[in-house]
Amino acid sequence: MKKLLTAFSLTLLIAGCNATTAEKPTSLQAQYEVALKNAQAAVEKAAAVDGEWRDIRWKKSKKRYLPSAIKAAEAGDYKKALELLEIATFQAEAGYKQAMEQKNAGPRF
């Protein structure tokens, strides 16, 4: 009985997973593709004003949100990819904003 149950729940699980991968991927993937473009543009914009933060894509960073997002998407995990892109975009935009706010920074003794 117990075996049956686990088998049953397993099939359910698999079915459930299949259902999500069968139905949602196009929309998630499409979302991802848009988000990736946005993130990349935001990162370039921050880099252009020397405002890029450490963990977006620098090779020695342990986090590397942008390349990690691309990796996650390649592995089919669009949900994770979208989460990582959200962070990368936030950091890029904040870095750009910071650089703009600091434009007139100078000595103050």
Partner 1 sequence: MTKLTKRLGPTALALCIGLVLSTQVSAADLEAGKKIAFDRSKGNCLTCHHIDGGTLPGNIGPPLIAMKSRFPDKDKLRAQIWDATAINPHSIMPPLGRHRILSEKEIDLVTDYIYSL
Partner 2 sequence: MKKILTLLLSAGLVATATQAVSSPEEDLEKFRIYYEQRFPGVQLDDFGNGPYALDVNKRLQWESMEEFPPYEDYVDKGREIWETPFKNGKSFASCFGKDPSKVRVKYPHWDSKTQQVVTLEGDINKCLKENGEKPFGWKKGKIAHLGAFLGYEARGQRINVVIPDDPKALEAYEEGKHFYYAKRGQLNLACADCHVQYPGHRVRGQLLSTGLGQTTHFPVFRAKWQKAAANGDGMGTLHRRYGGCNGQVRARPFKAQSRQYRNLEFFHTYMSNGLEINAPGYRE
Binding of partner 2 by 106 (CB under 8 A): yes
Scan residues 13-52 and list those touching partner 2 (CB under 8 A). Answer: 47, 50-52
* Separation between Cα atoms, residue 80 and residue 65, nearest integer Å: 11
Q: Integer distance in angstroms from the first to the last C-alpha of the chain?
A: 79
- Pick the stretch among 4-12, 33-41, 76-84, 87-95 that binds partner 2 (CB under 8 A): 87-95
* Separation between Cα atoms, residue 53 and residue 94, nearest integer Å: 9
* Separation between Cα atoms, residue 96 and residue 55, nearest integer Å: 14
Binding of partner 2 by 55 (CB under 8 A): yes
Whether the Cβ atoms of residue 69 and residue 39 lie closer than 8 Å to each other: yes
* Separation between Cα atoms, residue 104 and residue 27, nearest integer Å: 44
- Pick the stretch among 10-18, 27-35, 70-78, 83-91 that binds partner 1 (CB under 8 A): 83-91
Compute the least distance from the CB of residue 98 to partner 2, in Å.
7
Compute the least distance from the CB of residue 50 to partner 2, in Å.
6
Residues forming the site for partner 1 (CB under 8 A): 87, 90-91, 94, 108
